[in-house]
Amino acid sequence: MKTITTTTTFLFLTLLFSFPVYAADYETTMKTNLQKLGEAKTLADFNALASQFERIANAEKDKWQPGYYTVLCYLNAVTQLQLSEDEKTAQLDKAQPIMDNLRKNFKNESEVFALQGFLYEMRIMGMASAMKYSSLATEVLEEAEKMNPANPRVYYLQGMNVFHTPKAFGGGKEKAKPLFEKAAALFENTKPATALDPTWGAEYNKKMVEQCNTANE
């Protein structure tokens, strides 16, 4: 009986003291990868980081951030690199199944649905795809807004969608500018809930406000 009690106590203490280390390792690894994401410069860089984040996501199924950044790696490659249309499509095709899983498992997370809006917008590569993906982006960003009206990336991405929609279809800089301005105020006053939550978008949004102002001069 004493042996069983001693063994049980040992196992309990092992789990108790190993858990904080494990949690700390997760956060440290995530922060390291996020720093690398900010420094990535090549397609190989972005794809390697996507694979790393995906491995973490597979191990941490109760956390949405690893999968989120997996998708963001693919999206950043599309937006930051000079890729052919086929290369862009390949990146987006790799991102969508991960995005589908995120939406399935984190149905109330505004950041997840906003990222889907971003992905849809990146699918727009001409008139043939514009109507379909602009409409899909509008729908999913409206869902993201309902989940968290204080999410600045929602309004930035809505602004981008409106800005690139022709005036004849209800878009243009005049209608986009208030969305960018709303995003700017939220970027200024809203802090992420955790150290691993998204913070991107403020600088891009600032440039869009400036572009709207310049276009009006």
| CATH code for the domain of 166 | 1.25.40.10
Does an H or E element contain 202, and which? Answer: helix 202-216
CA distance 86 to 181: 34
Report if residue 37 sits inside a domain: yes
Average pLDDT of the segment spanning 149-155: 98
Q: Are 156 and 184 in contact (CB under 8 A)?
A: no
Q: Are 104 and 80 in contact (CB under 8 A)?
A: no
Report if residue 6 sits inside a domain: yes
Residue that the structure tokens 């190993």 belong to: 18
CA distance 113 to 99: 9
My answer on whether 10 and 81 are in the same domain is yes
pLDDT at 170: 87
Report if residue 97 sits inside a domain: no
Maximum CA extent, the chain? 85
Report if residue 98 sits inside a domain: no
My answer on whether 115 and 217 are in the same domain is yes
Q: Which distant-in-sequence residues (6+ apart) come within 8 Å of 118 by Cβ? A: 75, 137, 153, 157
Domain containing 159: what range? 108-217
My answer on whether 208 and 124 are in the same domain is yes
Average pLDDT of the segment spanning 2-8: 48
Query: Which pLDDT tens digit goes with each residue over 132-151?
Result: 999 999 999 999 999 999 99
Query: Which pLDDT tens digit goes with each residue over 186-201?
Result: 999 989 999 999 999 9
My answer on whether 78 and 115 are in the same domain is no
Query: Which pLDDT tens digit goes with each residue over 89-143?
Result: 999 999 999 999 999 999 999 999 999 999 999 999 988 899 899 999 999 999 9
Report if residue 99 sits inside a domain: no
pLDDT at 31: 96
Residue type, 197: D
My answer on whether 115 and 81 are in the same domain is no
My answer on whether 124 and 215 are in the same domain is yes
Q: Are 77 and 91 in contact (CB under 8 A)?
A: yes
Average pLDDT of the segment spanning 39-44: 98
Report if residue 56 sits inside a domain: yes
My answer on whether 74 and 162 are in the same domain is no
Domains held by the chain: number: 2
My answer on whether 184 and 130 are in the same domain is yes
Axis crossing angle, helix 2-39 with helix 65-80, rounded to the nearest 10 = 20
- The last residue of a domain, from among 88, 121, 155: 88
- The last residue of a domain, from among 55, 88, 121: 88
For 42-126, where are the alpha helices, taking DSSP H only? 43-59, 65-80, 85-105, 110-122
Average pLDDT of the segment spanning 64-78: 98
Angle at 71 between CA 70 and CA 74, to 5 degrees: 95
pLDDT at 94: 98
Residue that the structure tokens 């960003």 belong to: 141
Query: What are the phi and psi torsion angles at 197 (to 5°)?
Result: -75, 155
Report if residue 26 sits inside a domain: yes
Report if residue 138 sits inside a domain: yes
- The last residue of a domain, from among 54, 88, 122: 88
Token duo for residue 130? 């514009």
Residue type, 181: E
